[in-house]
Amino acid sequence: MKLDVHAHFVPDGYRAALQRTGHDHPDGMPAIPEWSAATHIEVMDRLGIAASLLSISSPGVHLGDGTTTGALAREVNEAGRRAVVDYPSRFGLLASLPLPDVDAAMAEIAHCCARLDVDGFVLLTNIGGTYVSDPSFEPVWRELDRRNARVLLHPTSPACWEETSFGRPRPMLEFFFDTTRVVVDLVLNGTVARSPDLELIVPHAGATLPLLADRVSAFARLLAPDVDVLRDIGRLQFDLAGFAIPRQLDALMTLTTRDHLHYGSDFPFTPEPVVALAAQRIDEADALSHDLGSNTARLFPALVQRLEGQR
């Protein structure tokens, strides 16, 4: 049973908001991808995906106009809930939060848990250049931990992308560095250690963490001697969206174990033929795909209950 923890949706209201705020080419990509629940399910059927957890991708719901962030978060979360209600055995929802407004984010967490029955949440690596590891967001992390939340971390363009991306789409390189940057900060500032009941899913097979973890651990002896870097990174969850095989996964497995791995398609921002090629590599990797489904089922039991209840 293939369960997709890294799948996106683009409801009509969100598409209109992106276009209205000049995000016709999000993060330097060619276009906003087309999306509907029905076509997404058709792709899932072709790829053998039983259920997908939908989330809003970069640039998220903070589009430069703080007065609309809360309203847009509520709109996309309600749209995601409608997709789950319409297709309860095929979709789950990872809700968006209207950061950087902490009070609004706390209210949205309560609403999503009480009224929308969400499966978890998605957090971008930074919101307008302020990283989610910033101390100002500590109340949000505490509340998510209190609720035993499942949280997908998703990269976005760093504040300095104009100088670092060389005009190329930021998902190619900048997303990996931004993921690594914020996970390292969450570990070094103790957020990961202080959140034992929160399950944080790091995308794209840990980005560059497997290559840099030992270097960070060495620096931590000076910067944060009470932090066990390798232990805290190793207990995180990781999706394999993108091309983790044949090279990246080997490095990741020096940090964690197979029971922390999950399937991710990154559809529709990753086109179906590319998703299919990446999935084929996973399917050929020593029964890895079976492990991924079991891992995700343990992490999201309510999703599995809905899936089984519709059979």
Tens of pLDDT, residues 141-180: 999 999 999 999 999 999 899 999 999 999 999 999 999 9
**pLDDT, position 19:** 95
Mean predicted confidence (pLDDT) in 202-206: 98
Q: Is the pLDDT of residue 28 over 70?
A: yes
The domain segmentation of the chain, as residue ranges, is 2-309
Q: Is the pLDDT of residue 66 over 80?
A: no
First to last CA, the chain: 13
So what CATH class is 2-309? alpha beta
Q: Is the pLDDT of residue 311 over 70?
A: no
**pLDDT, position 253:** 95
Phi, psi at residue 83, to the nearest 5°? Answer: -65, -40
Q: Is the pLDDT of residue 287 over 70?
A: no
**Nearest partner of 263 among 273, 254, 249, judged by Cα:** 249
Q: Is the pLDDT of residue 214 over 90?
A: yes
Are the beta carbons of 261 and 227 closer than 8 angstroms?
A: no
Q: What is the pTM of this model?
A: 0.96
- pLDDT tens digit sequence for 246-273: 899 999 999 999 999 999 999 999 999 9
d(C-alpha 152, C-alpha 135), whole Å = 19
User: Over pLDDT 90: what percentage of the chain?
Assistant: 93
